[in-house]
Structure 1
Amino acid sequence: MMMQAAPIPPALSEPYEAFVKEPVQQPPEVKPADEDTQPQVEPENVLHDLTSVGRLCITKRLQVKSVLFLRGKKNRFLVRTQENNLIYKIQEQNSWWVGYFCYGLRPLQLHVRDGTGAEVMRIYRPYACTSRIFPCQLQRIQLYVTGPRVTISFFRDIQFHIYRTDGTAVGSTCKRWQGILHAMFFAPVSDKFGIAFERDLSVEEKALLLAATLLLDYMYYDV
C-alpha cells in the first residue's frame, strides 16, 4: 500500500489591475531592493508538531455505537507525545459495510487532524488481500519494517524494527501489552501502540512511520 503525507497548499490570490479615469500625479519611482537581500518567508509546515518529537504514544478506540447501529466499523486514534500532550486525532472513514465483511483488510481513509481541528495529513489504504498466517502479501509501504515471526505475544510488548533502505535503523514501533484481562476481552475495542525514532528525522519521515504503525494495527490486530 502506498501511503503519502500530503500537506495542504495555501490558497493563492489572483493578481488584479487598478484603472483610473483621469490622470493622476505619479509618485517617484522606487527601485526594488535586490531580491537576494529580501527576507524569504518560509511557509509553516503543517506537521510542525513532530519536529522535536522522539516518541509517540497511540491509543486506539473502536466506535462501538457506530457498530451497534450498523453505521460501519470505524476506529479513532489519539496520538500523544511522551509528555502525554495530545497532538493528533485520527478518524477512520470507510463504506459502512466493509468493516463487517473485510475486517482488518478493509479499504479506508484516515484523516489526521491537529489540536485546532485542521487536517494535516490523510492516509489512504486500498483493499489488498492478505493472510495473517502468512502476512504482508500485497501490502506495500515505502519503508522497511521487520518484526517477530509470531505477532501474538503474552506478557510482553511486540516489537517491530524500522530500517532505511541501506539497512541502518531509524526506530521501532510496538504493540503494548496491557494485561491478560485486556487481551481476552477488551483488545478488539481499545489498544495502545508506541513509536520511537530519531529526533533529527524530517517531519515527513516521522509522519510516514506513524502511518506504518497504523497499518501494522490493521494488518495484525484489527478484528
Structure 2
Amino acid sequence: MYRSESGTIPVPLRHRVSWASDMEMKGGNEPNPNSGYGNQGYPGADYPGYPPPQNPYGYQPAGYAPAGYQTAGAQVPPGYPPGPYQGQPGQANFGAYGGPHAVPNQPGAPAAAWMPAPAPIPNCPPGLEYLTQIDQILVHQQVELLEVLTGFETNNKYEIKNSLGQRVYFAAEENDCCTRNCCGPSRPFSMTIVDNAGQEVMKLHRPCRCSACCFPCCLQKLEVQAPPGTTVGYVIQNWHPCLPKFTIQDEREQGILKIKGPCIPCRCCADVKFEIKSMDESAVVGRITKQWTGFVKEAFTDADNFGIQFPMDLDVKIKAVLLGACFLIDFMFFEQSQNNN
C-alpha cells in the first residue's frame, strides 16, 4: 500500500519489490548513484547517460624534438637489421622506480623524476633496457660553480633524460686535476654511466689523441663498454679538411653509421646539428643537436645541452655508442666556453 494526502493507493506486489530495491540502492529519497550505475555506454560514469569525468585542462605531456627534425618515418639504415630485443613505438614502460639505492639528485638542483625501470630483456646488456623504449635522449651537462668562479676545470657531469624529462642515466667523468687543466678539452678520460639504482651500466674510454686535420694518423677514438669490460662499439673520427666526420662501429669494428657535422660547429644564437647517416651517406636516420642555451650560459660556462634522435628499433648497442659519440663531440667542439662565442 502507498499512503498519500489523497488517500491510500494499492500498489501491486511486484512493483513494491522493484520500488523498495531502487530505494535501497539509492539510499532513500536522495540520489546516491554507484559508479557506472545504469550506463552501459560509459562504465565509469556516475549518472545514466553521462560520460565519465574528463581532464578539464586537456594537458598531455609533450615530447621534445630538436628544431627542424621529425622522427616520423625514420628508419634503420639499409643493410643493418634492428636488434632482436628492441621495444616498439608506443610500448609501455614496466617496472617500478629505483629503490633506496637510487642515485640522488645533485645538491642545489631541482628534483628530477627517474624513468621507470624496464623489465630485463633476454640478450640485452644489463642496464640498456631503457634504450629499447625511447628514440630520443636529452643530455644536460651540469653547471659547476667552482669552474664558473675560478676557471678551474672540474670533472664533467651529465644528466641523461628521455623526452618527458625523466632521468634515465647519470654520467660522470673520472679524471685527475693535472690532466684536466693541462690538456683541456683534448684530455683523455674515462666516463662512468649509472642507472637509477646506482648500477654502473656503461663505461667510456677516450685515449689521448690529436684531432687536427694535419695528423690523420692519430685522430680521435672513443670506446664504449656495456656492461663495463664488454666492448659494444667505437666512435672513430674520420679525416676531412674542414668537416667533422665520424664513423660508428660495432664491437667487431665494422662500420654501421656515419656522423657528419657542419663546417663551423660553433654558432651564435642557433642550434648546431650533427646528422646521423647510413654508411653510404644516402639517408639521414637521426641527429645529434647541440642546443643554444642563451648568451649568459654560453659565454660564462661550458655546460651544454644536447638532443639525440635515432630510430626506435635501432640496435640498443648502437644507441649506446651514439650516446658516447655525443660526449666526444662535446669535448671536441664545445668544452671551452670561449669557443661558443
Query: How many Å apart are 1:104 and its aligned residue?
Result: 0.7
- The separation in 1 between residues aligned to 2:204 and 2:306, in whole angstroms, is 18
Aligned to 1:74: 155
2:313 pairs with 200, 204, 212, which one?
200
Structure 1 runs of 4+ aligned residues shifted over 3 Å read 41-45, 62-72, 131-137
Q: Match of 1:218, as an amino acid? A: F
Q: Match of 2:270, as an amino acid? A: R
1:138-173 residue CA offsets vs partner (Å, 9 max, x unmatched):
113242211110011112100000123233332110
SS in 1 for 2:285: strand
Check whether the contact 1:112–1:120 (CA below 8 A) recurs between aligned residues: yes
2:193 pairs with 112, 120, 125, which one?
112
Aligned to 1:146: 260
Q: Does 1:157 align with 2:271?
A: yes
- The separation in 2 between residues aligned to 1:195 and 1:122, in whole angstroms, is 19
**Residues 165 and 101 from structure 1, CA distance in 2 versus in 1: closer, same or farther, beyond 3 angstroms?**
same
Aligned to 1:31: none
Query: How many Å apart are 1:43 and its aligned residue?
Result: 5.6
Query: How many Å apart are 1:130 and its aligned residue?
Result: 2.4
Structure 1 unaligned regions, length at least 5: 1-40
Query: How many Å apart are 1:137 and its aligned residue?
Result: 6.2
Aligned to 1:16: none
Aligned to 1:58: 139
SS in 2 for 1:193: strand
SS in 1 for 2:324: helix
- The separation in 1 between residues aligned to 2:305 and 2:220, in whole angstroms, is 22
1:165-184 residue CA offsets vs partner (Å, 9 max, x unmatched):
23333211011001222222
1:124 pairs with 197, 205, 213, which one?
205
Check whether the contact 2:204–2:324 (CA below 8 A) recurs between aligned residues: yes
* Larger RCO (CA within 8 A; separation ≥ 6): 1
Check whether the contact 2:169–2:196 (CA below 8 A) recurs between aligned residues: yes
- The separation in 2 between residues aligned to 1:116 and 1:207, in whole angstroms, is 18
Q: Does 1:42 align with 2:122?
A: yes
TM-score (structure 2 length as normaliser): 0.48
Query: How many Å apart are 1:62 and its aligned residue?
Result: 4.9
- The separation in 2 between residues aligned to 1:90 and 1:162, in whole angstroms, is 22
Check whether the contact 1:71–1:96 (CA below 8 A) recurs between aligned residues: no
Check whether the contact 1:92–1:108 (CA below 8 A) recurs between aligned residues: yes
**Residues 95 and 203 from structure 1, CA distance in 2 versus in 1: closer, same or farther, beyond 3 angstroms?**
same
- The structure that has the greater radius of gyration is 2
The number of residues matched between the two structures is 181
Query: How many Å apart are 1:68 and its aligned residue?
Result: 8.1
Check whether the contact 1:67–1:73 (CA below 8 A) recurs between aligned residues: no
Check whether the contact 2:152–2:181 (CA below 8 A) recurs between aligned residues: no
Percent identity between matched residues is: 29
Aligned to 1:171: 286
Deviates most, 112-121 or 53-62: 53-62
SS in 2 for 1:154: coil
- The separation in 2 between residues aligned to 1:102 and 1:135, in whole angstroms, is 20
**Residues 87 and 94 from structure 1, CA distance in 2 versus in 1: closer, same or farther, beyond 3 angstroms?**
same
1:104-148 residue CA offsets vs partner (Å, 9 max, x unmatched):
110100101000000001000001122499999611324221111
Q: Match of 2:327, as an amino acid? A: L
**Residues 44 and 207 from structure 1, CA distance in 2 versus in 1: closer, same or farther, beyond 3 angstroms?**
closer
**Residues 170 and 55 from structure 1, CA distance in 2 versus in 1: closer, same or farther, beyond 3 angstroms?**
same
- The separation in 1 between residues aligned to 2:179 and 2:289, in whole angstroms, is 27
TM-score (structure 1 length as normaliser): 0.72
1:183 pairs with 285, 298, 303, which one?
298
Q: Match of 1:210, as an amino acid? A: L
Check whether the contact 1:146–1:160 (CA below 8 A) recurs between aligned residues: yes
Q: Match of 2:315, as an amino acid? A: S
